[in-house]
């Protein structure tokens, strides 16, 4: 018999970005039916990184009814139009993965086919010249345009963003408990989680638990042993050092990902400081050398650099029994394309869509796991692409990644594009066709042919079509203000509530 009394008590373990995103969204949407408690430990703290995001976060904030200038002030956020990849195809080469569309697609073929045909006819212009977000990004410009014509995300201070979400969640009725979870109590009959046992002999009971305890996975792994699928044979980076520093120049509307001989470095420009770090594979680079490289390339540090160890992979079940693992507790693909906050967002919205009404259904768990796994696998493939498709062979690390076998799904995508210039977005994949095109071409996968529709134009007609698109982008970019001036004006425009 189905017990339809609403599930009353939801307990979130952990108060990092994932914990507070979950709390804010549940409290805002279902605060009227759910008794929501979040447990976190200030002493343990959060991971302290996770500052570059992707465009769907704009929607998440809208769903929560967040006023953008207020949020940006609170999180010291800047706008992000994409990622500048330095040294990935080879040392000294750069390309930009923007959030925008390039040129104009035909229903039968993406714009890259027209660009390839024009290139073959001698048109010298880069694929970059056809994308507004890309041109504006490189010029350090930004503005909101009518009809959301500028597709953007944010750089946020992770700690400040967490605090901001906490304020929202608490205002909507979420209860926060400060304390250290020492034990997870299981129900002897069902095997479900019954309660969290905290320091000071406190006990927090719940019907549904959300594990947001980061890499520890205290509930999903420590108590329920849901298992972990290791992807480090595809994602060999396992270490990072992070720091916060002064700016080296005005904050640009893009993240920088600079490859080195055993990984890469990030630079994330916020309003008040720069987030920076180095990601590396410990089998190929020592910690001291990584630290030297990082510290010799950033502005004046504002905190002591700190180390993070990680492993690429995913929980075999992200929803298991009455526990859903979200954020780093659920799985991790290294931060190259800044996708983890997005995976959190997807998990949060998905969980709310599947919120049990009554007892927890195993069917909901199966659905959640299938959908969530599909998301993370697609992101995994996209990130592996940056390593696999490269001309770099200048170090053991790059020789290793260039030679490694990759998932069949990715191999098919690369070879299809190389042979035909085609790529397809399937199953609501996060990264749309133009993301794949930009990164594949940026990494050096050069299509050998293109769709016959592109031959429909006569030579002059094609040139005119291409020139019109280019001029439109250049003209619009020229009207945009400097990004840092726009942010200052936009964030000063309204007083904090």
- Catalytically active residues, by annotation: 80
Q: Which of 10, 11, 12, 15 binds ligand FAD (CB under 6 A)?
A: 15
The secondary structure element, H or E, covering residue 325 is strand 323-325
Q: Does 430 bind ligand FAD (CB under 6 A)?
A: no
- Kindly tell me which residue out of 77, 212, 223, 298 binds ligand FAD, with binding defined by CB under 6 A: 212
- One of 3, 8, 45, 468 touching ligand FAD (CB under 6 A): 45
Of all helices (H) and strands (E), which one includes residue 159?
helix 158-171
Helix (H) or strand (E) holding 201: none
- Closest approach, Cβ 347 to ligand FAD, in A, equals 10
Structure tokens at 151: 């597709």
- Residue holding tokens 């998905």? 350
> How wide is the angle at C-alpha 405 spanned by C-alphas 424 and 234, nearest 5°?
85
Quote the least distance from Cβ 16 to ligand FAD, whole Å.
Answer: 2
Tell which one of 7, 11, 16, 421 touches ligand FAD (CB under 6 A).
Answer: 16
| 157-158-161 Cα angle (round to 5) | 85
Q: How far apart are CA 168 and CA 444, in angstroms?
A: 45
Closest of 91, 60, 82, 186 to residue 137, by C-alpha: 82
> Which residue, 181 or 389, is less far from ligand FAD as judged by CB?
181
Helix ranges restricted to H, 31-142:
56-63, 68-74, 111-120, 132-138
Find where tokens 């044979």 sit: 233
Q: Using the rule CB under 6 A, is 312 a contact of ligand FAD?
A: no
Residue 17 touching ligand FAD (CB under 6 A): yes
User: For residue 64, which of 162, 151, 172 has the smallest C-alpha distance?
Assistant: 172
Residue from 49, 165, 210, 333 in contact with ligand FAD (CB under 6 A) = 49
50 binds ligand FAD (CB under 6 A): yes
- Rg of the chain taking only CA atoms, in angstroms: 23
**Among 25, 26, 29, 46, which residue sits at the site for ligand FAD (rule: CB under 6 A)?**
46
Rule CB under 6 A: say whether 213 interacts with ligand FAD.
Answer: yes
Q: What is the 3-state secondary structure (H, E, C) of 262-317?
A: CEEEEEEECCCCEEEEEEECCCCCCHHHHHHHHHCCCCCECCCCEEEECCCEEECC
Stretch 435-474: interaction string toward ligand FAD, x if CB under 6 A: ----------------------------------------
Closest C-alpha among 360, 370, 236 to residue 316: 370
Tell the smallest beta-carbon distance from residue 451 to ligand FAD (Å): 34
- CA trace torsion 195, 199, 201, 203 (10° rounding): -20
Does the footprint of ligand FAD cover residue 308 (CB under 6 A)?
A: yes
How far, in Å, CA of 361 to CA of 368, rounded? 11
CB 15 within 8 A of CB 175: no
Write the binding mask 119 to 158 for ligand FAD: x where contact by CB under 6 A, - elsewhere: ---------------------------------------x
Measured from the CB atom, is 314 or 473 closer to ligand FAD?
314
Residue 327 in the binding site for ligand FAD (CB under 6 A) = yes
Closest approach of ligand FAD to the CB of residue 241, in Å: 8
CB of 390 to ligand FAD, least distance (A): 21
Is residue 211 at the binding interface for ligand FAD, with CB under 6 A as the rule? no
| Residue 385 DSSP SS3 | helix
Residues that bind ligand FAD (CB under 6 A): 14-19, 39-41, 44-47, 49-53, 158, 180-181, 212-214, 216, 218, 240, 242, 277, 279, 308, 310, 327-329, 335, 338-341, 344
């Amino acid at each position: 018999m189905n017990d339809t009394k609403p599930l009353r008590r939801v307990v979130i373990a952990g108060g990092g970005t994932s914990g507070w995103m979950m709390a804010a969204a549940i409290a805002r949407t279902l605060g009227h039916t759910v008794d929501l408690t979040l447990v976190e430990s200030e002493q343990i703290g959060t991971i302290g990184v996770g500052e570059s995001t992707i465009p769907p976060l704009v929607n998440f904030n809208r769903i929560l009814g967040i006023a953008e200038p207020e949020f940006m002030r609170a999180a010291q956020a800047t706008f992000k139009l994409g990622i500048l990849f330095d040294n990935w195809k080879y040392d000294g080469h750069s390309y930009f993965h923007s959030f925008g569309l390039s040129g104009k697609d035909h229903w039968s073929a993406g714009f890259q086919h027209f660009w390839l045909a024009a290139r073959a006819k001698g048109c010298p212009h880069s694929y970059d010249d056809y994308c507004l977000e890309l041109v504006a990004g490189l010029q350090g410009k930004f503005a909101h345009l009518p009809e959301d014509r500028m597709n953007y995300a944010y750089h946020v201070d992770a700690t400040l963003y967490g605090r901001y979400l906490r304020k929202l969640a608490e205002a909507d009725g979420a209860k926060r408990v400060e304390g250290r979870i020492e034990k997870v109590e299981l129900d002897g009959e069902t095997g479900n989680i019954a309660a969290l046992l905290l320091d000071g002999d406190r006990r927090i009971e719940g019907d549904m638990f959300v594990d947001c305890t980061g890499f520890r996975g205290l509930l999903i792994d420590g108590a329920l042993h849901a298992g972990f699928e290791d992807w480090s044979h595809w994602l060999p980076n396992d270490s990072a050092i992070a720091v916060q520093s002064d700016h080296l120049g005005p904050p640009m509307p893009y993240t920088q990902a600079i490859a080195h001989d055993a990984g890469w470095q990030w630079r994330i420009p916020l309003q008040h400081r720069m987030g920076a770090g180095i990601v590396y594979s410990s089998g190929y680079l020592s910690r001291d050398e990584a630290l030297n490289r990082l510290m010799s390339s950033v502005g004046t540090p504002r905190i002591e650099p700190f180390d993070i160890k990680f492993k690429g992979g995913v929980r075999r079940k992200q929803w298991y029994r009455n526990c859903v693992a979200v954020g780093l507790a659920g799985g991790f693909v290294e931060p190259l394309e800044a996708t983890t906050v997005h995976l959190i967002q997807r998990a949060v919205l998905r969980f709310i869509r599947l919120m049990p009404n009554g007892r927890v259904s195993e069917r909901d768990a199966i659905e959640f796991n299938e959908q969530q796994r599909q998301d993370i696998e697609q992101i995994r493939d996209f990130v592996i692409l940056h390593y696999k498709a490269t001309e770099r062979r200048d170090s053991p690390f790059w020789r290793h990644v260039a030679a490694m076998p990759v998932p069949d799904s990715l191999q098919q995508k690369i070879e299809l594009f190389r042979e035909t210039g085609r790529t397809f977005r399937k199953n609501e994949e996060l990264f749309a066709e133009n993301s794949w095109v930009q990164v594949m071409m940026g990494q050096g996968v050069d299509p050998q042919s293109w769709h016959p529709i592109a031959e429909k134009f006569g030579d002059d007609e094609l040139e005119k079509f291409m020139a019109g698109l280019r001029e439109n982008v250049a003209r619009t970019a020229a009207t945009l203000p400097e990004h840092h001036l726009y942010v200052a004006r936009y964030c000063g425009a309204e007083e904090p509530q």
